[in-house]
Chains A and B, each alone.
Chain A
Amino acid sequence: MNAIIDPRSVQADSAPHTGGLAIRHVDKSFDIDGRKLSVLEDVSLTIAPGQFVSIVGASGCGKSTLLRLIAGLERQNRGDILLDGVPVAGPGLDRGLIFQDHRLFPWLTVEQNVLLALSNSDEAAADKRVRVASLLTLVGLDGFAQAFPHQLSGGMAQRAAIARALAPEPQVLLLDEPLGALDALTRLRLQSELQRIWLTRRSTMIMVTHDVDEALFLGDVIVVMQPGRIARILHVPAPHPRDRADPSLAPLKAEILSLLHAG
């Protein structure tokens, strides 16, 4: 009765057991010119290990702040964020973060950028390079290891940023509007790539977006936010890899859009 209807339940034994998040009664406010600006109020959310969660909302609703709290870049004023039962107290390699702008270091090659993400690993240098090469293959950047970021297109740079975020093998990958700065075609292609990567890695992924179609194409769970709070949590029953024309998505899209307009 409490069983979660999981389209991947046939391979439940391969499902990950780490990367579960519990967000409990979290408040966050910023001080702007001495005035308190509340961004999140009493937000609670539970994310199962290996889930793909899309967070949608209008700009300024606090969705990016929520992601930055999980990443440990900001500290909540109240409440707890637990990763596999352990409170988040700052950044950690168990969580990766991908920004809207790729934020590659322009002075490092693609390979060096990804290698830097492995600087806390004890592996031999040669092993690290092998790992970086396989990551670049995973994101479709074979042959671009020695390129500098300014030589890449926006989509390719974001692929490199994905490889860098995946390198430390985080249990939770946080994506802050990762495709927001890309053109429509590149965006569609990278959405499919993200889905493929997620199906390969099986880590928890939490993506913030304001594109409802993108949220529905990728997410098992859609968190709809209105300013400062979670308005609704929806489950997407369609299986992965997902068909954009899946008929079950249309009513969900209508529901999300009406919630966003109401907010």
Chain B
Amino acid sequence: MSLIAEFPPNFVHADRIDDHDPPPAWLVALVKRARGLLLPVLLAGLWHWASTIDASTAYAFVPLDQIGDRLLLLLSSGELAVNAGSSLGRALTGLALGGLSGIVLGSLMAGFPMVERLFGPLLQAFRQVPLLGWLPLVGLWLGSGEGAKQLLVAVAAFHPLLLNSYEGFAQAEKKHLEVGRVLMLSRWRTFRFILLPTALPSILTGIGQALAFAWISTIGVELLFGTGAGLGSLMHTAQMAGDMGVVVLCVVAIGLMGYGLNLILSLVRARLLRWRVTG
């Protein structure tokens, strides 16, 4: 009885904590960083299991070692690099062309009601047509060469940047513009130091959307046209040849590259918007 009284009620609890040492900090950090890899590894395991059931599933779920062989082959021949580079170039060129036109037109529409009234209805209608809807006409005008692909990717990147930059530039605040007037800023400086920074967060959001659309449509048009270099074309050719290992590799490469592009953009975004209050 006296023995029990000597131990405070929380003694048992404290003992239990002491029993389980907290994991070392490096392990916690590693697990935190690697959490995103958990599901991919699990999926790969499932994939591997499916490939071992019988011959028909092994065709649909190509065994991992075969995919590995294909990867080495594509890497050593330089085929993967050439095709990935071609797709990347196409997506970024389309983003630059379509995105810049979107930003320019969006800023003009926000700044000049006349431009808005002139272009607004046409662009609204234009936006309702899905990318695939342009395919027959673009094919007729430009064939199935580089020009046609580039145009379609640019159209995909155009709309998100048009809308977001229009919204961004329309947010210009009277109180800031008044300071510009008091300081006698030129039209260019008013644009550069007041209008553009005001619109920048929206424009960056637009670039994020446009980048995703440009990347998706790049692969889309490559798959549809099936000509020239590009991950989509490579996938198209491999599918025709029944080489499912290459198809799988293309899917993975497309996913990883899109992920990487987004990551780079979010770093640029954080740098450009570091003036904003965070947290």
CB distance from A181 to the nearest CB of B (A): 13
How far apart sit A106 and B200, CA to CA, in the bound complex (Å)?
Answer: 12
Provide the residues of chain A in CB contact with B276, threshold 8 Å.
106, 150
Mark contacts of A120-162 with chain B using CB atoms, 8 A cut-off: 1 yes-contact digit, 0 otherwise: 1000000000000000000000000000111000000000000
Size category of the A interface is 20 to 34
CB distance from A24 to the nearest CB of B (A): 23
B277 at the interface (CB under 8 A from A): yes
Interface-side segment among B74-82, B163-171, B183-191, B209-217: B183-191
How far apart sit A141 and B231, CA to CA, in the bound complex (Å)?
Answer: 56
CB distance from A188 to the nearest CB of B (A): 26
- Nearest A residue to B197 via CB reads A107
User: Do B189 and A119 touch across chains, with their CB atoms under 8 A apart?
Assistant: yes
Provide the residues of chain A in CB contact with B277, threshold 8 Å.
150
Which A residues from 147 to 206 make CB contacts under 8 A with B?
148-150, 164, 168
CB distance from A66 to the nearest CB of B (A): 16
Most chain B CB inside 10 Å of its own CB: which residue of A105, A120, A168: A105
Interface-side segment among B5-13, B121-129, B174-182: B174-182
Most chain A CB inside 10 Å of its own CB: which residue of B182, B184, B189: B182
User: Do A103 and B275 touch across chains, with their CB atoms under 8 A apart?
Assistant: no
User: Do A105 and B197 touch across chains, with their CB atoms under 8 A apart?
Assistant: yes
Neighbour of A107 across the interface among B178, B179, B183, B275, CB < 8 A:
B275
Most chain B CB inside 10 Å of its own CB: which residue of A97, A99, A101, A116: A116
User: Do B179 and A103 touch across chains, with their CB atoms under 8 A apart?
Assistant: yes
A96 at the interface (CB under 8 A from B): yes
Q: A105-B193, A106-B275, A108-B193 are in contact. Are A97 and B182 (CB under 8 A)?
A: yes
Provide the residues of chain B in CB contact with A91, threshold 8 Å.
181-182, 184
How far apart sit A73 and B183, CA to CA, in the bound complex (Å)?
Answer: 11
How many of chain B's residues have a CB under 8 angstroms from any CB in A?
A: 19
How far apart sit A71 and B193, CA to CA, in the bound complex (Å)?
Answer: 21
How far apart sit A106 and B278, CA to CA, in the bound complex (Å)?
Answer: 13
How far apart sit A108 and B185, CA to CA, in the bound complex (Å)?
Answer: 15
Provide the residues of chain A in CB contact with B184, threshold 8 Å.
91-93, 120
B100 at the interface (CB under 8 A from A): no
User: Do B193 and A116 touch across chains, with their CB atoms under 8 A apart?
Assistant: yes
A82 at the interface (CB under 8 A from B): no
B194 at the interface (CB under 8 A from A): yes
CB distance from B228 to the nearest CB of A (A): 42
Neighbour of A73 across the interface among B176, B182, B275, CB < 8 A:
B182
Provide the residues of chain A in CB contact with B193, threshold 8 Å.
105, 108, 116
A117 at the interface (CB under 8 A from B): yes
How far apart sit A105 and B275, CA to CA, in the bound complex (Å)?
Answer: 10
How far apart sit A73 and B178, CA to CA, in the bound complex (Å)?
Answer: 8
Which B residues from 226 to 279 make CB contacts under 8 A with A?
274-277
CB distance from B175 to the nearest CB of A (A): 6
CB distance from A30 to the nearest CB of B (A): 15
User: Do A116 and B182 touch across chains, with their CB atoms under 8 A apart?
Assistant: no
How far apart sit A168 and B183, CA to CA, in the bound complex (Å)?
Answer: 8
Provide the residues of chain B in CB contact with A97, threshold 8 Å.
182
- Nearest B residue to A168 via CB reads B183
Provide the residues of chain A in CB contact with B194, threshold 8 Å.
105
User: Do B175 and A99 touch across chains, with their CB atoms under 8 A apart?
Assistant: yes
How far apart sit A71 and B189, CA to CA, in the bound complex (Å)?
Answer: 20
Q: A116-B193, A150-B275 are in contact. Are A107 and B182 (CB under 8 A)?
A: no
Neighbour of A101 across the interface among B175, B182, B185, B200, CB < 8 A:
B175
CB distance from B197 to the nearest CB of A (A): 4
How far apart sit A96 and B182, CA to CA, in the bound complex (Å)?
Answer: 7
How far apart sit A84 and B176, CA to CA, in the bound complex (Å)?
Answer: 28
- Nearest A residue to B272 via CB reads A107
Can you list 23 contacts pairing A with B, beta carbon distance less than 8 Å?
A73-B178, A73-B182, A91-B181, A93-B183, A93-B184, A96-B182, A97-B182, A99-B175, A99-B178, A103-B175, A105-B176, A105-B193, A105-B197, A106-B276, A107-B200, A108-B193, A108-B197, A116-B183, A116-B189, A117-B183, A119-B183, A120-B183, A150-B275
Q: Which residues on A are within 8 Å of B, measured CB to CB?
A: 71, 73, 91-93, 95-97, 99, 101, 103, 105-108, 116-117, 119-120, 148-150, 164, 168
Q: Which residues on B are within 8 Å of A, measured CB to CB?
A: 175-176, 178-179, 181-186, 189, 193-194, 197, 200, 274-277
